[in-house]
Amino acid sequence: MCKRLLDRNAVVTGAARGMGFAIAKALYQEGARVAILDIDEKGAAGAANQLDGKNGRAIGRRVDVTRKSEITQLVQEMSKLWGGVDILVNNAGGGLNTPYLLDQIEEKDWNLVVDVNLKGTFLCCQTVIPEMIKRGGLPGRGSIHGGQGRGGRVDPPAGLRLGKGGDPGQCRGADRNHDRRQNSNHVERKK
């Protein structure tokens, strides 16, 4: 790797495993210091240790993205440790084990999907963006899961599709609200 992100500080939510961990790893390999956030405290700590050991370029923290106070605390810690935040990847969320079919999703499951996918993205952007602006950056990431339904069935699962559908607009809106050119790297599925 060519270390394009040397001396940059990244926050990746939902990064204890899967796509979030892969994103955190790629950022780390490009030279960034990475805060791996996840609701799974042991998973986040383990992922950070797997990336960095004891070099001080990765930290793993339990953060519930639906609680602004936890996000604020993490941003303050990053400011003290590394001087601020440059990169935010809103990866936490997904279908969160909701049933596959729309008519099988219970209200409590729906509320969790909306809280993590939309409220979590909103709170992370609202809390982190002012810090990013101080350091001159404003990237984001939306979800590819704003896909199409097929004959009474939604693919991917309804909770994931419906909950993640609001991400791209939040990323683009954050760019525009701060008089920036659009730096969001939202990916759309080709039809």
Peptide bond into 139 cis (omega under 30): no
Residue 168, pLDDT score: 58
Residue 22, pLDDT score: 97
* Residue 62 within a domain: yes
Return the top range by mean pLDDT from 1-10, 26-35, 139-148: 26-35
* Residue 187 within a domain: no
Residues ≥6 apart with Cβ < 8 Å to 7: 31
What is the pTM for the complete model shown?
A: 0.75
SS3 at position 183:
coil
* Residue 182 within a domain: no
Going 40 to 52 to 133 to 183, the CA torsion angle's sign is negative
* Residue 32 within a domain: yes
* Residue 138 within a domain: yes
Residue 98, pLDDT score: 78
What is the domain count for the chain?
Answer: 1
Residue 71, domain CATH: 3.40.50.720
pLDDT tier at 147, thresholds 50, 70, 90: very low
CA 95 – CA 157 distance, rounded (Å): 7
Residue 3, pLDDT score: 87
Domain residue limits at 21: 9-177
Give CA angle at 27 (129, 187), nearest 5°.
Answer: 70
